[in-house]
Structure 1
């Protein structure tokens, strides 16, 4: 069990500039329909590949947010403190949602961590993958670029 001091230290270590938004309410994807494509990444603090994916997610958010990509990371840890500690070590520049009961993971049929779902501006799931491998990152990014380009053509 972590001491109160350790918990406060973890909270202090999270970068003040982090735009992570902790939300306990369900994710309402309808707010993005017609406006943004959404990349949802499901992760947990105990997941090794999740540590590799966070820098890449930060890059994707920085590169494509202005082109209409919304990056959302959904944490499924049962203990929020574990997620907070993870974020202190691996800060995010994108929204983070806390889903300890796995409601969203179940909704999307998530089988392992990390897993990602790419959703079009029309609200349709266009791709989904389990795991994160650095040698596949270019393929993941290509899917995002293609989806954003299709959205521009449709406007």
Structure 2
């Protein structure tokens, strides 16, 4: 992101969820870093590179509080990529993390979440910080080492207590947060 302007991630628009007992929202996941990856069943780069990378991320970061979310973002071959086909795909590729079907709107070939995030195609990924801000946005597959480092940095960021008040009232502003004055320092 340019400057120090944090851009909050827009909310997901999902018509159906897999691998989770209840729908997920980015607002509900505040306090945890989120790795959001988008894919299509018939995308060669997704099958050959992105899905295996997501499987590695699932294994490597299994003990952390990273939330991995897949979004099946269909912008072509709609009839071939139904939820029934997706369910079989998730089973065959053994993806364990939650996967949502990007919401389609009549009159648009580009699904809602894809438009909201400004994604250019699949595979794409977005790393979201504990505060809900977009930390990194990528089109295509990044090198494992670079992506792992980005995720590790997001995980190492302190989990801040989230309140329903204004951050300005808590000593935060101008892109930074000031610690309260020390009392009784040794």
Q: Same fold (TM over 0.5)?
A: yes
Structure-2-length-normalised TM-score:
0.62
Partner of residue 53, structure 2: 56
In 2: Cα distance, 1:44 partner to 1:63 partner: 23
- What is the alpha-carbon distance in structure 2 between the residues aligned to residue 50 and residue 71 of structure 1? 16
- Alpha-carbon distance between aligned partners in 2 of 1:139 and 1:43, rounded to the nearest angstrom: 20
Q: Determine which structure has more spread, i.e. the larger CA radius of gyration.
A: 2
Secondary structure of residue in 1 paired with 2:63: helix
- Secondary structure of the equivalent of 2:115? helix
Report the RMSD for the aligned CA atoms in angstroms: 2.3
Q: Does 1:33 pair with 2:30?
A: yes
Return the offset for 1:22: 8.3
Please give the secondary structure, in 2, of the residue aligned with 1:66. coil
Which runs of 5 or more structure 2 residues have no equivalent in the other structure?
Answer: 1-17, 105-110, 162-186
The alpha-carbon deviation at position 75 of structure 1 amounts to 0.3
What residue ranges of structure 1 are gaps of 5+ in the alignment? 1-18
CA contact (8 A) 2:35 2:68 kept: yes
Alpha-carbon shift at residue 139 of structure 1 (Å):
0.9
* Distance in structure 2 (CA, Å) of the matches to 1:100 and 1:81: 16
Deviation at 1:66, TM superposition (A): 2.9
Aligned partners of 1:50 and 1:106: how far apart in 2?
19
- Which structure has more helix as a fraction of its residues? 1
Q: Which residue is equivalent to 2:96?
A: 93
User: For the Cα contact (< 8 Å) 1:22–1:97, is it kept in 2?
Assistant: no
Partner Cα separation in structure 2 for residue 90 and residue 75 of structure 1: 14
* Count of equivalent residues: 131
